[in-house]
Homo-oligomer: A and B are copies of this chain.
Amino acid sequence: MEHPSIIFKIVCPDRPGLVSKLTSWISDYGGNIKHSDHHTDQDAGLFLSRIEWNSIHTTINRKDIYDKFQTIAVDINGKFNINYSDEIPNVAIFVSKQNHCLIDLLWRVRNGELKMNVPLIISNHPDLESIANDFNSQFVYFDTVNSSKSDVEDQILKLIDQFDIDFVVLAKYMQILSDSFVQKFSSIINIHHSFLPAFKGAQPYHRAWKRGVKLIGATAHYVTKDLDEGPIIEQCTVNVSHRDEVDDLIRKGRDIERVALARAVRLHLNHQVFVYKSKTAVFD
């Protein structure tokens, strides 16, 4: 069995000597670097670094790493996260009526492709409860029509707390989360259709079809208070033609939505995504 690795993610103002400083610290504690990626965004003046290192010969305890590394972080004026490859996060998946993304994610979890637990599935429709049951997840239905948004969100936040949820995936959840919810719980991944050009508002596939688009796309992104405008993690497209009816566009859209969402969740689970300003750097 492979020894767990330690994953550092650091963001700080760019300056000379940063890679050296970070990697020397790891080397001094006996760590062996497995992957290291660094990127300088000259426009933002920021240095981003992801270093995955093997803890097998390290002379430092897991519980001490955070505190000891804090000194470096202060020195470089940086923000950092430390994660371990053997941590299995708890994820809540939010759905409505469409099942394609939910099923895809749950099967990838079952097959060991996505290393996460899904103890909680939340929906504003009762339709997908049997799928949740098949995969031993708790399914909680909220009647969002006859309840206030703030009441529902309060209850959801309690469940998130109760199930110790690390991040949320919106797998075709057709409700808009309030700003206050989004601010309280920062790691939310969403999937939505994308087109060239964009078709905002209702019935986008119908309108894209009427315009005769030759490509349709899907975008997986983090949710911010600007709806569908959060930092992009992954995008995919597929060719369409006049031979495709609206239903074919929707069907093809489902296929790329689940691929884009699964890739985005995997990148997030592997701590390969940096979010800064309004965008991401994805170290794949």
User: Which chain A residues have a beta carbon within 8 Å of chain B's beta carbons?
Assistant: 15-21, 23-24, 26-27, 30-41, 43, 57, 99-100, 103, 107, 111, 113, 134, 194-198, 210-215, 217, 219, 228-229, 231-237, 239, 241-243, 251, 255, 259, 262, 277-282, 284
Contacts and interface: CB of A to CB of B under 8 A. Distances in A.
Nearest to A38: B36
A118 to B, nearest CB: 16
5 contacts: A16-B27, A23-B24, A36-B36, A103-B107, A194-B197
A74 to B, nearest CB: 19
A278 B214 CA distance: 13
B24 A210 contact: no
B242 A214 contact: no
Contacts of A196: 194-196, 198, 217, 219, 235, 237
A279 B210 contact: yes
Contact of A259 (B18, B242, B255): B255
A111 to B, nearest CB: 7
Contact of A20 (B26, B57, B197): B26
Given A33-B40, A103-B107, 11 more contacts: A21-B27, A41-B242, A99-B111, A113-B251, A194-B197, A198-B198, A212-B231, A212-B280, A242-B279, A242-B281, A242-B282
A284 to B, nearest CB: 7
A20 B17 contact: no
Contact of A33 (B18, B255, B262): B18
B232 A213 contact: yes
A16, A234, A239, A241: most-surrounded residue (chain B CB, <10 A): A16
B20 A27 contact: yes
